[in-house]
């Protein structure tokens, strides 16, 4: 169901972008022989402008790829954690520690952030119980608590993978587009110098190149910022869930060792 919704979203975006391009004056005038279409604009772009455009396209594909991968991972994490929580709670309430560990380590919950955190605490507690260490109750609880904290930090870092890249793309893409804009303006002045006049014929190619680069920079930056804000909000929710689960697990061990 989620894959189908993502496909529909992609079709809507592509269709909207296509209609926006076809409605531009360049496309509208193509049949009348007036103005420049996008093919002519790209054909007349210099190597520097082409390089800027290629960099922007790479940044765009990169940000969309990261967003799709993270959204899929987050959806799986939420779905699997929702299924995992009541089952592990049932095992712990029944005192079945080994069954709870086996459930947490199952491949069916490999995306679950809660399973990773709970597994670390359960394994550490089991190790302390079976190793025959002379640690007192408070020391055992401290080791379990530190193990859970380490697992929480590692899981949060794993969930955050790639999200900072979206922030970098969203903040730098407009400046990359601005570089292309400056190059386009320079080409416009070169056209004025070569023709000896400031007519529209001498500057149209350079101005069009500058505007295309500006539009590309914004086209890359805006979705990247949207994706970053959306994923960051979901990360905060996951962190709250892991903190709550860690606290509940420590409380369980406190009651169990009382």
Note the pLDDT tens digit of each residue in 130-179. Answer: 877 777 888 888 999 999 999 999 999 999 999 999 999 999 999 999 98
Note the pLDDT tens digit of each residue in 78-91. Answer: 999 999 999 999 99
> Which residues of the chain fall below pLDDT 70?
1-45, 191, 195-206, 258
Domain locations in the chain as residue ranges: 1-31, 38-257
Q: 141-168 burial by CB neighbour count: b if 16+ within 10 A, else e?
A: bebbbebbeebbeebbeebeebbeebbe
> What's residue 81's pLDDT?
94
What percent helix, strand, coil does the chain show, rounded to 5? 85, 0, 15
**In sequence order, what are the residues at sequence separation of 6 or more whose Cβ sits closer than 8 angstroms to the Cβ of residue 79?**
111
Q: Is the dihedral of CA 19, 21, 25, 29 positive or negative?
A: negative
Q: How far apart (Å, rounded) are the C-alpha atoms in residues 91 and 88?
A: 5
DSSP characters over 117-139: HHHHHHHHHHHHHHTT----HHH
């Amino acid at each position: 169901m989620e894959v189908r919704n993502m496909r529909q979203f992609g079709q809507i975006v592509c269709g909207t972008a296509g209609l926006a391009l076809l409605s531009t004056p360049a496309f509208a005038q193509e049949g009348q022989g007036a103005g420049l279409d996008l093919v002519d604009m790209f054909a007349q772009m210099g190597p520097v402008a082409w390089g800027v455009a290629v960099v922007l396209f790479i940044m765009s594909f990169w940000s969309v790829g990261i967003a799709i991968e993270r959204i899929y991972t987050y959806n799986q994490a939420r779905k699997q954690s929702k299924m995992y929580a009541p089952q592990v709670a049932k095992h712990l309430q029944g005192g079945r520690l080994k069954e709870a560990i086996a459930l947490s380590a199952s491949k069916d919950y490999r995306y679950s952030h809660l399973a990773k955190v709970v597994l670390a605490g359960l394994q550490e507690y089991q190790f302390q119980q079976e190793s025959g260490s002379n640690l007192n109750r408070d020391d055992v609880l401290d080791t379990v608590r530190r193990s859970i904290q380490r697992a929480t930090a590692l899981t949060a870092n794993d969930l955050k993978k790639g999200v900072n890249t979206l922030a970098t793309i969203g903040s730098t893409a407009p400046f990359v587009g601005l570089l292309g804009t400056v190059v386009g303006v320079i080409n416009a002045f070169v056209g004025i110098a070569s023709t000896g006049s400031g007519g529209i014929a001498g500057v149209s190619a350079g101005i069009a190149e500058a505007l295309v680069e500006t539009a590309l920079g914004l086209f890359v930056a805006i979705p990247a910022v949207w994706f970053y804000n959306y994923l960051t909000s979901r990360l905060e929710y996951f962190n709250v869930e892991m903190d709550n689960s860690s606290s509940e697990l420590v409380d369980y061990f406190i009651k169990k060792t009382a």
